[in-house]
Amino acid sequence: MNYLTDTDAKKLFSAAIAAAENTYSPYSHFPVGAAVLSADGTIVPGTNVENASYGLTICAERTALGHAVSIGKTDIKAIAVFCKTNSAAPCGACRQFILEFGSDIVVIFMHGEELMQRTIGELLPFAFTKATMDQLEKVGDQEHNL
């Protein structure tokens, strides 16, 4: 398992706390911050960005990942997520979004008093991924029987 040291996990989590300061959440009033750690050590922040058309809201994790990709950081090691209620494991959509960049990515979040670390593969088992789609070539037109 590629879990971070306590010091590194806390450092990344602090960046997520700082990112939440920039929240744009005039509807939920629920600030969330995220911070991505890329393989070269760069820390990339993101916050939740809401919209008057509520469903268009972007979670902090997805903002941070989009930010990281936009500056050329797709080799991602970890992502921390913070919200004030101290129980902010990423939502289902964000789990899927994180997994796109690798099942070993470490997700760091508070659970009560504990700073938790779990790989995204642990948080989203049996996921639908690019590998799932790549099977199509192999499977071809074969019929499906149970």
* Closer residue to ligand THU in complex, CB, 37/58: 58
Residues near 66 by Cβ (< 8 Å), separated by ≥ 6? 46, 58
Catalytic pick among 61, 100, 113, 137: 61
28 versus 132: smaller Cβ distance to ligand THU: 28
Q: Quick check: 127 binds ligand THU (CB under 6 A)?
A: no
100 included as an active-site residue: no
Residues 69 to 98 in contact with ligand THU, rule: CB under 6 A: 90-91, 94
State which of residues 28, 74, 86, 132 lies at the interface with ligand THU (CB under 6 A): 28
Which one of residues 38, 48, 117, 119 is an interface residue with ligand THU (CB under 6 A)?
48
Q: Catalog residues that contact ligand THU under the rule CB under 6 A.
A: 25, 28, 30, 32, 48, 50, 57, 59-61, 90-91, 94
Q: What residues are annotated to the active site?
A: 61
